[in-house]
């Protein structure tokens, strides 16, 4: 047996799967039941990953999984403000993992969104669930495969150029008791398509919520896919995400991953597998942490083919007793000649009690490549602080200005103005600078 975590939550889950399967499971396609069975066995054997697992060395899940999480039927009381001001977009809401049709807009031609039953009955996507995120070692992925209650598919048709972004709001509203919400989406961007997906994460939960969210994405030949994740989750949501992206020849993927909420735990596993030649992958990340927040970003860019470019920049600020983990793997496989791969992680550590574990990890097996990686952990620049103060700007304001500037470096790279405004607003709210005149 592995050295996993086998707590009460684990025991409940095992019992639930073996004895208490809901009726909906019985009508599922056979291929899915088989996948769930296999995944369940893996999870049962490994348990939740403990700190003995190299990938979880700096994130102690046990601490966050102490509540008595259950599957619950949430009432969709949705008072959460999940809008982005002045944002021209089609909106879809996923409330507690489930597609909320009544709160969602019709989509433009070439873009289709399917809820669980539509997704599972569409023969085009039979067997797709779990075929992109197919890591057979990850027990957290297996947990989701075995238990994902809801499943949706976003499909972008070949050659469709969709100007209007899609905004998916993920909202968690549990009110009754500690709740477990596992769900999954699949994104298929067919060849020569272009689309933008903005995902925002919100909560208004009175009780603790443990979210397991998996997104599998397939970006076909010459498709362009812009994806943004903005996490504004509140104080009692524990959020674990696994995102597996397959990129085919000449495709472009842009991803931003911005954390400006108050959630105690975020763990993102973002894996980008470059399956074809000539791809481009741009990754941006920002986090501003306070209190006892713990945010762990694991990214993997896997260069498997020649002539691919990847670029990654993550920046974060840590205050109070917060803890950030950045683990950025870049693999350049033997066939991946002429790779350009760049990665950077910069941190501003503003408290004696805050911790950063930054681990850039570049593994190169090809000999004709350009790669670099770097990581910094620094403190407030005292010369800059003095400069601001010498112009009459008070200590507090000056510090916040500098913090804002540090993160704004990432936010300013977002291409959608409404999104820049929105994230800048979240940043100011978190820094308490929203009543200052600085724009």
Partner 1 sequence: MLNINDLQASVEGKEILKGISLRVNAGEIHAIMGPNGSGKSTLASVLAGKESYEVTGGNVLFEGKDLIEMAPEDRAREGLFLAFQYPVEIPGVSNINFLKTAITEIRAYKGLPPLSSREFMNLLKEKQELVELKTSLVNRSLNEGFSGGEKKRNEILQLAMLDPKLAILDETDSGLDIDALRIVANGVNKLRTENNAFMLITHYQRLLDYIVPDFVHILYDGKIIKSGTKELALELEEKGYDWVKEELSVQASHSL
Distance CA 374, CA 352 (A): 23
Q: Judged by CB, which is closer to partner 1: 161, or 384? A: 384
Which one of 101, 177, 405, 415 is in contact with partner 1 (CB under 8 A)? 405
Does position 424 bind partner 1 by CB under 8 A? no
Does position 73 bind partner 1 by CB under 8 A? no
DSSP secondary structure letter of residue 101: G
Q: Judged by CB, which is closer to partner 1: 177, or 417? A: 417
Distance CA 238, CA 265 (A): 5
CB 409 → partner 1: shortest distance, Å? Answer: 5
Which one of 401, 414, 426, 431 is in contact with partner 1 (CB under 8 A)? 401
Distance CA 340, CA 337 (A): 9
Q: Please give the sequence-ordered ranges of beta strands (E in DSSP) within 190-231, or none if there are none.
A: 194-203, 209-219, 224-231
Give Cα separations from 436 to 115, 322, 382, 385, 398 (angstroms). Answer: 43, 25, 22, 17, 11
Report the 10 Å Cβ neighbour count for 158.
14
Torsion of CA 129, 27, 157, 130, to 10 degrees: 0
CB 439 → partner 1: shortest distance, Å? Answer: 5
Distance CA 359, CA 154 (A): 33
Q: How many residues bind partner 1 (CB under 8 A)?
A: 28
When computed from its CA atoms, the radius of gyration of the chain, rounded to whole angstroms, is 21
CB 382 → partner 1: shortest distance, Å? Answer: 8
Q: Judged by CB, which is closer to partner 1: 85, or 383? A: 383
Helix, strand or coil for residue 433?
A: coil
Vertex 7 angle, CA 3 and 11, to 5°: 110
Does position 402 bind partner 1 by CB under 8 A? yes
Instruction: Dig out the tokens for 433 from the structure.
Output: 């600078």
Does position 194 bind partner 1 by CB under 8 A? no
Distance CA 365, CA 331 (A): 8
Q: Judged by CB, which is closer to partner 1: 365, or 387? A: 387
CB 398 → partner 1: shortest distance, Å? Answer: 8
Sites for partner 1 among residues 381-400 (CB under 8 A): 381-384, 386-395, 397-398
Does position 421 bind partner 1 by CB under 8 A? no
Which one of 290, 408, 418, 421 is in contact with partner 1 (CB under 8 A)? 408
CB 95 → partner 1: shortest distance, Å? Answer: 36
CB 84 → partner 1: shortest distance, Å? Answer: 22
Q: How many helices (H) and strands (E) does the chain have?
A: 9, 19
Sites for partner 1 among residues 325-384 (CB under 8 A): 381-384
- Which residues here bind partner 1, judged by CB under 8 A? 381-384, 386-395, 397-398, 401-402, 404-406, 408-409, 412, 436-439
């Amino acid at each position: 047996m592995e050295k996993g975590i086998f707590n009460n939550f684990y025991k409940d889950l095992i019992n639930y799967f073996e004895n208490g399967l809901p009726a909906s499971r019985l009508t599922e396609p056979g291929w899915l039941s088989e996948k769930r069975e296999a995944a369940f066995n893996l999870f049962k054997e490994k348990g939740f990953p403990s700190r003995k697992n190299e990938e979880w060395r700096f994130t102690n899940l046990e601490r966050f999984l102490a509540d008595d999480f259950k599957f619950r039927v949430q009432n969709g009381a949705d008072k959460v403000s999940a809008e982005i001001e002045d944002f021209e977009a089609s909106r879809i809401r996923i409330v507690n993992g489930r597609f909320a049709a009544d709160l969602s807009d019709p989509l433009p031609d070439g873009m289709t969104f399917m809820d669980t039953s539509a997704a599972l009955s569409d023969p085009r996507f039979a067997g797709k669930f779990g075929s992109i995120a197919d890591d057979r070692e990850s027990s957290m992925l297996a947990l989701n495969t075995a238990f994902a209650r809801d499943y949706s598919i976003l499909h972008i048709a070949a050659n469709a150029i969709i100007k209007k972004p899609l905004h998916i709001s993920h909202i968690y509203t549990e009110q009754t008791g500690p709740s477990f919400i596992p769900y999954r989406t699949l994104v298929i961007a067919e060849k020569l398509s272009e689309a933008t997906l903005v995902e925002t994460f919100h909560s208004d939960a009175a009780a603790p919520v443990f979210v397991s969210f998996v997104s599998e994405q397939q970006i076909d030949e010459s498709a362009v896919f812009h994806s943004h994740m903005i996490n504004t989750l509140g104080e009692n949501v524990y959020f674990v995400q696994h995102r597996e992206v397959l990129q085919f020849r000449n495709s472009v993927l842009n991803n931003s991953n911005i954390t400006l909420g108050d959630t105690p735990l975020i763990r993102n596993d973002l894996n980008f597998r470059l399956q074809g030649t000539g791809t481009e992958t741009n990754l941006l990340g920002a986090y501003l942490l306070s209190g006892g927040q713990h945010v762990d970003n694991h990214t993997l860019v896997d260069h498997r083919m020649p002539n691919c470019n990847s670029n990654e920049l993550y920046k974060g600020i840590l205050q109070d007793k917060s803890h950030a983990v950045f683990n950025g793997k870049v693999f350049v496989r033997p066939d991946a000649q002429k790779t350009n791969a760049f990665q950077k992680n910069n941190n501003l550590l503003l408290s004696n009690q805050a911790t950063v574990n930054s681990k850039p990890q570049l593994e190169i097996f090809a000999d004709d490549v350009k790669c670099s990686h770097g990581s910094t952990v620094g403190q407030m620049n005292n010369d800059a602080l003095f400069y601001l103060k010498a112009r009459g700007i008070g200590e507090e304001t000056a510090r916040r200005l500098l913090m804002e500037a540090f993160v704004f470096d990432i936010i300013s790279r977002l291409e959608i103005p409404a999104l820049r405004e929105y994230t800048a607003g979240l940043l100011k709210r978190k820094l308490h600078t929203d009543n200052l005149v600085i724009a």
